[in-house]
Chain A
Amino acid sequence: MIDSYWESVLIFLGINTVLALSLYLPISAGQLSLGHGGFMAIGAYVSVICTTWLGWPLVAGLAGGGLAAGLAGAVVGFPALRIKGIYLIILTMGFGEIVRIFFLNFEPTGQASGIGGIKHLTTLPLVTLVAALMLLCLMRFRDARIGRALRAVQEDEVAAEAMGVDLTRVKVGAFALGALGAGIGGGLYAHHALFIDPAQFGFFRSAEIFLIVVLGGLGSYWGPVVGAAVVTLLPELLRFVQEWRMTVFGTLLILCAVLRPAGLLSGRRRAAA
């Protein structure tokens, strides 16, 4: 039906969508995170440990990876409460790097040599399902009390708190859930690429996911989906300008920022941090 090449491209697209949706959550609570690669790494490694060493099925592995990442997210989420804007970006960036360096030195998971021989368990239907579920959750979320609390926090924190929104719960919760999503994304990635090493989850990865989310815009939860599609498919479609691919991509980014600064799907405008 779909040929093997496009299947793989679409699986990566699905994984990027999952990652982007998971980052969308904390960012829409005003927490700019450039450390999502770190949570992805935790999810990837833990899920591989579950499936390869413990012999669990993939779903259990994903759950394991997600939970581990979510826990890390909660831990990082608390200090993140007191920090805003550019400082938070750097905090999360530092966290992401520390995770990567940890795995670079951690012997049981191979250090720089990484882990190979992972079973190919990720399938296109599975990835699509996970992405769709996340999207569904976000949609329901939006109208539930928690979602509205989130939007209130996004618009004006002080007012939200005055109205009784428990800032701590909302912000830490968003951070932890975002990390959980990234962990699941990491697990899906590991079982498709069949080999992971710390280099896969460095600053570039975090920046890429961040880029996807802001490219798509914060106005709607479809933003991350559009962003993921642009960032994943464009390099493939640009193969005919193989030699200058990055230049074209970079120029497109600049154009996007100039012409649609609030993202491709701009809805509401974010107040400056």
Chain B
Amino acid sequence: MLLQQLVNGLMLGSTYSLIAIGYALIFGVLGLVHLAHGEVFMMGALIGLQIVLWLHAGPAVALVGALLGTAALGVLIELTAFRPIRARNGPIFAPMVSTIGVGLILQEVATKAFGGEQVGFPHRLEPVTWRLGPVTISSVQLLILGTALVLMLALHLWVTRTRMGMAMRASAESTLTARLLGISTDRVILVTFAVASALAGAAGVLVGLSFNAISPFMGIDMGVKGLAIMLLGGLGNIYGAMVGGLLLGAIEVLSVAYLASSYRDAFVFGVMILILLFRPQGLFGVGQVR
């Protein structure tokens, strides 16, 4: 059973990673916590579902559509809810309050558009299951893991090889220096939001396909966990977020398997608290705690 549970954990963890990366990107470049990121994830799932229903398309199209859709959403959020606040240079909670507002609006819009309860992808997209020895894997799980890895690799390449990607890293290091170097921070921020939101949207479609449980409120839990993972991996560190997500998925699944499920979240938070106390910069963070 252990092997299967580890596989379960890996699958769950890869979706967590995608969300956590988004948090890390935004925190890294902007220094703020985007409390509506979970709702962007949720919208990704819903957009993907709509594409499948309207165009009778397959998961690939849904994925691409959700990526584009949530990227656009992310840009919209940045322009309406964050940029005006940055211009005013207020205290750190102002953007947090703003994101709470965004989250509420997205939840209500989703409820109105799709109903308050869960919906699922049509069953013709039902996955094929394979048995490899003691372990059962479904095609959707492989799809998730594969897509997650591809996206993470793509992000890594983008951040290290392209100009825009490097501009993003520069801005994360120091906004002032970046500006001095002629980087348009506004544009970098827009791109950051787009990329982070696209990743979350992709995660949404993948989760929707795999667990078939899409609801306007699915983002809340994911949002909190993503935050926790970002912490685990080291704030603003996208590689930390990747590994942290996989790790958290494994911890969660193992705690359910060997302890009672009702303590699962307590266990997860307990682990987080321990890490905070003994290694506050996270597993991969370096240097001083801000």
Contact = CB atoms under 8 A, between A and B. Distances in A.
Direct contact of A and B (CB under 8 A): yes
A272 interface: yes
B153 interface: no
Interface stretch (A1-9, A49-57, A86-94, A173-181): A86-94
Contact of B276 (A91, A102, A253, A272): A91
Interface in B54-92: 80-81, 84-85, 88, 90-92
A83 B80 CA distance: 32
A104 interface: yes
Interface stretch (B95-103, B179-187, B195-203): B95-103
Interface in A53-91: 79, 82-87, 89-91
Contacts of B95: 257
Contacts of B158: none
Please classify the interface of chain A as helix (H, G, I), strand (E, B), loop, or mixed, using the class held by over half of its residues: helix
A197 B50 CA distance: 36
A247 B262 CA distance: 33
A225 to B, nearest CB: 18
B265 A254 contact: no
Please classify the interface of chain B as helix (H, G, I), strand (E, B), loop, or mixed, using the class held by over half of its residues: helix
Interface in B218-257: 220, 224, 227-228, 231, 235
A29 B269 CA distance: 24
B104 A249 contact: yes
B94 A262 contact: yes
B176 to A, nearest CB: 15
B233 to A, nearest CB: 13
Interface residues of B, number: 46
A27 B187 CA distance: 34
Contacts of B277: 79, 82-83
Interface stretch (B2-10, B105-113, B163-171): B105-113
Nearest to B95: A257
B263 A254 contact: no
A20 B88 CA distance: 26
Interface in A172-226: 203, 207, 211, 214-215, 218
Nearest to A104: B262
Nearest to B83: A258
B235 A86 contact: yes
Nearest to A111: B262
B93 interface: yes
A261 interface: yes
Interface in B274-288: 276-277, 280
Interface residues of A, number: 46
A101 interface: yes
A120 interface: no
Given A83-B280, A87-B231, A269-B91, A101 B265 contact: yes
A270 interface: yes
Interface string A90-122: 110111011001101100000000000000000
Contact of B91 (A246, A250, A270): A270
Nearest to B89: A261
B94 A257 contact: yes
A256 B108 CA distance: 19
B289 interface: yes
B27 to A, nearest CB: 8
A86 B265 CA distance: 20
A98 B270 contact: yes
B102 A254 contact: yes
23 contacts: A84-B290, A86-B235, A93-B224, A94-B269, A94-B270, A94-B273, A97-B269, A104-B262, A105-B262, A203-B224, A207-B100, A214-B96, A218-B91, A245-B108, A246-B104, A247-B109, A251-B101, A251-B105, A253-B98, A256-B97, A257-B98, A258-B94, A261-B90
7 closest residue pairs by CB, A with B? A261-B90, A253-B101, A261-B94, A250-B104, A94-B269, A257-B98, A250-B105
Given A247-B108, A253-B100, A257-B90, 4 more contacts: A93-B224, A101-B263, A203-B224, A251-B101
